[in-house]
Structure 1
Amino acid sequence: MHKWYSKEEKIEMLKKVEGLGCITASKILNVDKSSIKRWRKSIRTLGEDSLIPGKGIQSKGKRQGRPKTLDLNEMTKEELIQYIEVMNHLKKYLEISKKGKCQAISQLQTKNPVNYLCKLLKVSKSGYYKWLNNGMKQFNKWIPFIANIIKSTFYAFKEIYGYNMICCWIKKIYKLNIQPHIVYRYMKNMGLKSKIRTKKFDYRLKSGSLRYDN
């Protein structure tokens, strides 16, 4: 537990080591060098009364950390206009994966600060820079062999099957035990979408040649 010193004791100790560095003074007084540095700074900025316990630099209020959320009520008119403009660009990225959000940040960082975009998309700044330093990967564990199999199977059946049927055919033809969600991720990454077949209705009379007068 740290010892508490009165105002007079602090002034007397500082006079004793006047002109010496913080490290040398801390060895002579047997006091932590950060305390001596803080006492000297307090006298320079706030005067000797700041050495009274409870009135120093550290007691001037708690440090406010970064806000967790953006408060619209406290924004100025210019900040609100900027917020609306950015949110119009980010609407389509709010429901996508984390990698997709990182890609959106990399595209919009020339117009807006990275820190601001990370808050809006709820992505950590460290996570974004980690993704950036790792080569901006869009897809983890990408295997070109599997990608080629999925692509060739998809086009072999004239683009009519979704990921579930593609998965079944791969298991049947190539004897690969691959899960549907993996096929879905590969197809989504390559932009492969099955064609929606329109229903063809038969408008001919079901009764055939049997007709009756009105």
Structure 2
Amino acid sequence: MKTLKGGIFMSRKLIDLDLLQSVFNNYENGMSFESIVEIVDVNLSPEYLRYMYNRYLTNGLYSLIRNSQNNKYSFQFKMNVVQEYLDNDISYKKLAIKYNIPAHETVRKWVNRYTGRKENTNYSPKQEVYTMKGKTTTFKERLIIVEYYLDNEISYKDCAKKYDVSYGQLYQWVQKYKSHGRDGLQDGRGKGKPKSILTPEEQREAEIQELKDRNKILEMENKVLKKISRNRKRDDKSTSKKIAAYETIEALRNEFPIKHLCQTLNISRASYYKWLHRKPTQKEFENKILIKEIKHIYEKYKGIYGYRRIYIYIRLYLHKKVNHKRVYRLMNQLNLKAVIRRKRKRYKPCTPQTIAENELNREFQEREANKKWLTDVTEFQLENGSKIYLSAIYDLGTGKIVSHYLGNSNNNQLVFKTFDKAVKTVTSTEGIIFHSDRGFQYTSRLFKNKLNHHKMIQSMSRVGKCIDNGPMEGVWGIIKSEIYRGSKRFKFESIEEAFQVINKYIKFFNNERITLKMANLA
């Protein structure tokens, strides 16, 4: 742009004509443009200075001053320039210098308009450089082509034709070379500018961006690890590592590139897309329904059923034929386990001292009702430190609790009331074996008289042989483990809550609870 003081703007910096004249004088005295650029404060590349020098030789120094407005050329002037190009095959650059046209691209546009961007191709069987596809080249090849173009001052067309590259490629290479030198010809696709041509500010921005990208990768890896860990622990999904990986990618695909997620999880993108577009099999569809039913049964009975009882429930009440191994496998996937009571300590054997003989003699197999009754007393703790006691009579034949009674103290009345309730449930008690441990209530004369009155046969466990009353001990273990739900420190908040929960559970125990004996009915 022309200035009031006779200067020109080049690369957004004001260059005085006197300075430019000094540059040309130094070049004529033997200095190279590369050396002049390093010594003189001129923000121009050596290649562009060479081009300006050629214009200076042809049209003088003042031909380098751009007008404040766009140059206006007559139609006839344009036609003369175009005709000379077509007749003599002079390069655009030489024509621009000859006719003092600031940019040789202006000449190229005139020629393209005149020819309609159609050139005669009779002279060469090669594809026209304007329409041919770009050619893959190396850095060394690009450097040779650009240097040849600048040193010989030929047209883009001729140079492109010589090296069999497209016109557009050559033009871009030359512009990059003028702006950034040799580094501008490096292949920076997807990498940005070469670091050697970055300004200090651009270098800082590049370093900040690199740190951001690194943080993004670390964030992705962190989220992937958390997500895949949760997916493997999901209560409705398979624990397969690959399935968990696929689900993790699906969940994070909107936040991070799928390519990077697959690399982090060490799986191929092809396998992920194959999984994404898969169709569920019939077995997967059936398992999905079965999983819902298993969860419903488990939650309905508050976790007291394991896979065996849930298997029986499904066959007995839902009338579905399933294998117990399938139920076991699905419950493992759901991480559902029944409440398991703690193992009881073993007691050392001792010499038996009997008050009544062990008439039961561990013959626990019984199919008829009201043939063998077992009894015992157990305790439950409250949060205030006190206890309540449960006395119950269990029928080996039916597997049900005949009667039970709750009280605040473990005394004779607790046992007597339980016994009186039990005998009222049957028409005849004659011959029933009534088995108990050697608790003080059962060894009293009053209780012995009650048994004799009802013509029942008293049986007692031997000293230190709690297994003699094993089924009754098992009933206590079931009741406590299923009420406590595996908690070792369970305590009732109040007596009222304890009475309500225990009475409700014994009703469930007698009428609803699934037992393994029911498997024969399924």
TM score, norm. by length of structure 2:
0.22
Q: Which has the larger Rg?
A: 2
Higher strand share: 2
TM score, norm. by length of structure 1:
0.45
Q: Relative CO higher for 1 or 2, CA cutoff 8 Å, sep ≥ 6?
A: 1
